[in-house]
Every structure is written in C-alpha cells, then in structure tokens.
C-alpha cells in the first residue's frame, strides 16, 4: 500500500456547489442567443425588409471570440459567487452594455458599403435579447450587492449617454439613427409635449391628492366614497377614458368661447390632461394617506409636549416623516403617467406616442422604436431618480418610532 493510497480522498458535495441560478440562466441564454440568432440585419432601404446576419459575419472571428469570452467569464463567475465575484460581474455587465453600440459600429463598417447610402442596419433578435438579459442581470446584481438607487441612476445615465452619442454621431447607417436625423425637429417637439403633459398631470395630481387626503382625514365619512370613485376611475381602460372626455369638452368649448380661446376642445391637450390626472389620483391619494397616517403617535405627542401647535406639528413633524412614502406615490404616479401619455397621441395631444402609432400604421418598426425607447428611458430615469430621492430623505426607523437614537 503506497503513501498516496493512505491519504484521505476529498469528498465534494453537491450541496457546497451553490451557483447563482438567475445569473447562470441569463448568461447561458445570452451565449446561446448570440450564436444561434441573427445579431443584426441589413436592408437596402427603408421599405425592403432586412436580411439577418450572424455573429461571425457581423463582427468577425476576433469580435465573436471577444464577446464569447466575456460571456463565458461571467458565466463561470456565476457558478461559485461571492461578493467580490458579484462586483466583477457587475463591471463585466456594465462593460458589455457600453460595448453594444461599438459592436454595431463594427457591423456597420463590415456589412454596409459606401456605395449604398440608403442601406440601413437594424439590431437583430440576438442584440435585443442580449440587451434585455444584461438589464435583468443588472437588476439581480443590484439586489445581491444592495446597491443604492443613486448609484444605479448614475450607471443608467452613463449608459444612456454613451448609447445616445453613438447613435447620433457614430452610427450613420443605423436605422434608428436615420429615423432620428430625418425627424429631429419633430422628435424634440414631441419630447417636449410628452414631458410637459406628464409634468402638468403629476403636479395637478399632487395638489389635488394632498387636498383630498386632508379632506378625508378631517371627515372620515368621505374616505370610502373617495376611494370608491378613484378605484372606479382606475378600472376604466385608458382609450375609453380618453374617448369619454371628447364630448363634454367639445360641448364646453362651444358653449364658452373663452375656453376655446385657451385651447380647450374635444381633442388635444385638454382631454389628455384630465384623463392623466384622473388616473394619477388613486396612487397619489393612497400613498399620501398612508404616509400621513403612519407617523408614530409617540412622535406627535412629543412634539405636542414641546409646545407645538397643530399646524406646526403637521409642517415640522408629520410632513417631513411622511415625505419618503409620499415620494413613492409621486414615483408611481410619474412612471404611470409617462406610459399613459403615449396613448394620448390618439386624440391629438402629441407626444412620443405619435411616432409609435405612425410607425405601426406604416409598418416601420424603426419609427416605433423612435417613440418607444425614449418613453422607456424616461420611465427608468424617473423611477430611479425619485426612488433615490426617497431613500435620501427616509429617516431612521428609530426616529420614526419615537425611540432615542
């Protein structure tokens, strides 16, 4: 019997093997997508549908090897994760997000000749899947590393800026960039209309929501009636609610010429604004009511003992402690309004939704993306920004409960 035979054999248990299943599935699907699906498609003009192109033809062996090596590295790190491993994976995911437009530049240089100025490069199914899977991986890493919303907002803003600069400056043949350059004035005007409608509806809903909440707290009998009406408005489909506004507003504009001179009519911004406010009131009122009611009675009693009057207690104690939850209501209301404003284009209110419906009518998916992608980016920025502000203003639990620090 040799000395090696006498040494104990290490036993490896499958229970010690704890891969991150979410990241493992995401990176495995990503690797399969880039090799099995079309990465980009090339079309000779805007009318003709594009022809799909695989990874090797689009980026060459060197580019395909680099992309595959990065995904395989992330896949390996997800098998035995640790906090340091998660941080490396986060850097890798962020790097891949930043390199995606660079890959489009390489594909454009390889596939599109200068002799075909009308040719267009479209992102294929593999590119869209890779972008979606990377964002999902980003969310998983944020939860694992407990990243603050402020850091997530900065990362999202950086990726958005890089993508925007690449599309506008370095991707002349990208179909989305060509659509933007052909309609840049119209795009900025639609973006301004979209942001204006959202801002006005959210501002009005904050004022009305706070007023209605104060009324409900003063007269408790109004609570069931108010929530019943607001819940009923929330159940009406958005297109139906926009349509219901057309008749009454057209009648009011015809009866009072002053309203017509102000721009109020059956179509346009007026019915869109009223419908958006009606949809925004429920989350605003509900979060405001919960925020004001959740303040600890011990904290208010301590403020009373310090000689504060009712108005002082509300402004200096109750409202600051309720502000984080109130901001969550504003966040929900803003994100909802950004999406619903797209439907307002159907009644002549303008906004980015006009590109979506025009693109659907012309079977031009690039025009649809020109309206849909900015709406998605606006919603993500509003969600992360208002969420980060709520985290900053959120006091410690000990302060809310009235305990001494």
| Burial of 357 per CB tally in 10 Å (0-12, 13-18, 19+) | middle
Please indicate, yes or no, if residue 141 is contained in any of the structural domains.
yes
Domain boundary among 124, 140, 175: 175
Please indicate, yes or no, if residue 6 is contained in any of the structural domains.
no
**For residue 15, what pLDDT is reported?**
46
Structure tokens that stand for 222 in this block: 């109004």
Q: What is the DSSP letter of 147?
A: -
Residues 6+ apart with CB under 8 A from 404: 398
pLDDT tens-place values along the chain, 405 residues long: 454 455 454 444 444 457 788 888 999 999 999 899 888 888 777 667 778 888 888 888 888 899 899 999 988 888 877 888 888 888 888 888 888 888 888 888 888 776 666 777 888 888 889 988 988 888 888 888 877 767 777 777 777 777 777 766 656 667 777 788 788 889 899 999 999 999 999 999 999 988 888 888 888 778 888 888 888 888 888 778 777 777 777 777 777 777 666 666 767 778 888 888 888 888 888 888 888 887 777 777 787 777 777 777 777 777 788 888 888 889 989 999 998 888 888 887 888 888 888 888 877 778 888 888 889 889 888 888 888 788 787 765 433 333 333
Please indicate, yes or no, if residue 83 is contained in any of the structural domains.
yes
Strand order in the sheet with 120-123: 51-53, 40-43, 120-123
**For residue 4, what pLDDT is reported?**
43
Same domain, residue pair 260 and 320: yes
User: Which H/E stretch holds residue 42?
Assistant: strand 40-43
**For residue 229, what pLDDT is reported?**
85
Same domain, residue pair 82 and 223: no
Spatial CA neighbour of 34 closest among 103, 95, 92: 103
Domain boundary among 144, 175, 206: 175
Domain boundary among 175, 209, 242: 175
- Find out whether 40 and 111 touch, Cβ atoms under 8 Å: yes
Structure tokens that stand for 35 in this block: 């090799």
Please indicate, yes or no, if residue 5 is contained in any of the structural domains.
no
**For residue 116, what pLDDT is reported?**
67
**For residue 194, what pLDDT is reported?**
92
Same domain, residue pair 160 and 237: no
**For residue 204, what pLDDT is reported?**
92
Round to whole Å and give the CA distance between 317 and 293.
12
Q: Which domain holds residue 152?
A: 15-175
The 3-state DSSP composition of the chain as helix, strand, coil percent (nearest 5) reads: 75, 5, 20
| Burial of 352 per CB tally in 10 Å (0-12, 13-18, 19+) | buried
Round to whole Å and give the CA distance between 66 and 70.
6
Same domain, residue pair 29 and 171: yes
């Amino acid at each position: 019997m040799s000395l090696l035979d006498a040494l104990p054999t290490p036993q490896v248990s499958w229970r010690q093997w704890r891969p991150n299943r979410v990241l493992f599935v995401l990176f495995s699907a990503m690797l399969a997508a880039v090799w099995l699906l079309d990465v980009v498609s090339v079309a000779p003009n805007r009318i003709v549908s594009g022809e799909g192109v695989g990874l090797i033809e689009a980026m060459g062996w060197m580019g395909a090897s680099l992309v595959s090596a990065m995904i395989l590295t992330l896949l390996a790190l997800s098998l035995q994760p640790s906090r340091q491993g998660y941080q490396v994976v986060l850097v890798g995911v962020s790097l891949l997000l930043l390199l995606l437009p660079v890959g489009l530049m390489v594909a454009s240089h390889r596939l599109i000749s200068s002799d075909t100025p009308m040719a267009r490069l479209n992102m294929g199914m593999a590119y869209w899947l890779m972008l979606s899977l990377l964002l999902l991986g980003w969310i998983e890493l944020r939860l694992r590393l407990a990243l603050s919303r402020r850091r997530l907002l900065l990362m999202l803003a950086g990726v958005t800026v890089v993508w925007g600069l690449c599309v506008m400056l370095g991707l002349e043949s990208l179909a989305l960039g060509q659509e933007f350059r052909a309609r840049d004035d119209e795009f900025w005007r639609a973006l301004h209309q979209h942001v204006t409608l959202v801002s006005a509806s959210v501002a009005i809903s904050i004022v009305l929501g706070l007023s209605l909440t104060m009324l409900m707290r003063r007269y408790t009998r109004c609570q069931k009636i108010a929530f019943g009406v607001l819940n009923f408005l929330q159940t009406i489909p958005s297109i139906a609610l926009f349509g219901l506004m057309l008749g009454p507003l057209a009648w009011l504009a015809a009866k009072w010429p002053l309203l017509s001179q102000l721009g109020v009519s059956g179509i346009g911004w007026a019915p869109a604004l009223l419908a958006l406010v009606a949809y925004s009131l429920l989350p605003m009122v509900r979060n405001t009511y919960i925020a004001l009611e959740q303040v600890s009675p011990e904290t208010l009693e301590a403020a009373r003992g310090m000689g504060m009057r009712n108005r002082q207690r509300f402004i200096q104690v109750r409202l600051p402690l309720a502000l984080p939850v109130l901001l969550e209501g504003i966040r929900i209301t803003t994100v909802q309004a950004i999406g619903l404003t797209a439907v307002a284009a159907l009644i002549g209110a303008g906004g980015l939704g006009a590109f979506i419906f025009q693109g659907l009518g012309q079977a031009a998916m690039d025009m649809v993306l020109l309206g849909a992608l900015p709406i998605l980016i606006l919603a993500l920025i509003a969600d992360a920004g208002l969420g980060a502000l709520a985290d900053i203003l959120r006091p410690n639990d000990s302060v809310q409960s009235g305990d001494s620090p």
